[in-house]
Copies of this chain bind each other. A is one copy, B any other.
Amino acid sequence: MYEGVVQDLIDELGRLPGVGPKSAQRIAFHLLASDPQDIGRLREVLGKVAEGVRFCEVCGNVSEAERCRICNDVRRDSSLICVVEEPKDVLAVERTREFRGRYHVLGGALDPLSGVGPDQLRIKDLLTRIGAEEVTEVIIATDPNTEGEATATYLVRMLRDFPGLNVTRLASGLPMGGDLEFADELTLGRALSGRRAL
């Protein structure tokens, strides 16, 4: 519709999730009128992302160094691991301020139809970690939807063999079929304090 680079920009922006044609056009014309320095900052950070973002070698969360801030924090209870699907779920649990343990980010949930089996998730790393560290409880905080529930069930089966290990699941209180990241702090806090043994 537009000529040259403007249309290219609208096309590229329109590929982003949640950005429709009208939004893409609006963002494009905003950028056309922007300070080149602002565009430069966006380009620079995109360049860093394209080079690859670092993940914590212990928990799998996004990280600046080999280990993330949470895994490096000696005040966090290392006997308690909260297993989540994505880095954004770590943020959601952190916002409740009710959890002082550590995390394990699976990188998704079991979804055989999309080709995500146990080997595509960081499940082996979790088992190694539980074997090596003195972990007493694993809280399974996958999303309360089909894939998350299936992942929780699978994890319970894998974790049954560790003697003395409590495996718990976030309490009801979270609406089923929803996404963990969109839960409000209070609901998620209640679900955390009311977690039940599996």
Nearest chain B residue, comparing its CB with the CB of A91: B1
Q: Complex Cα distance A46/B18, Å?
A: 19
- CB-based contact B43/A30 at 8 Å: no
A interface secondary structure, majority: helix
Q: Complex Cα distance A64/B4, Å?
A: 5
- CB-based contact A49/B39 at 8 Å: yes
Determine how close the nearest CB of chain B comes to the CB of A18; give it in whole angstroms.
5
- CB-based contact B4/A42 at 8 Å: no
- CB-based contact B6/A62 at 8 Å: yes
B residues less than 8 Å from A19 (CB atoms): 19, 27
Mask of A43-55 contacts with B, CB within 8 angstroms, 1/0: 1011111111110
- CB-based contact A46/B43 at 8 Å: yes
B residues less than 8 Å from A25 (CB atoms): 88
- CB-based contact A41/B53 at 8 Å: no
B residues less than 8 Å from A86 (CB atoms): 29
Mask of A121-164 contacts with B, CB within 8 angstroms, 1/0: 00000000000000000000000000000000000000000000
Determine how close the nearest CB of chain B comes to the CB of A51; give it in whole angstroms.
8
Can you name 15 A-B pairs with beta carbons within 8 Å?
A: A2-B87, A3-B63, A3-B68, A3-B69, A4-B63, A5-B48, A6-B53, A6-B87, A8-B45, A12-B42, A15-B38, A16-B27, A16-B31, A25-B88, A43-B50
Task: List 13 other contacts, CB 8 Å, given A4-B53, A43-B43, A43-B46.
Answer: A3-B61, A3-B64, A5-B64, A6-B87, A8-B45, A8-B48, A9-B46, A12-B41, A16-B30, A22-B182, A31-B46, A31-B49, A36-B51
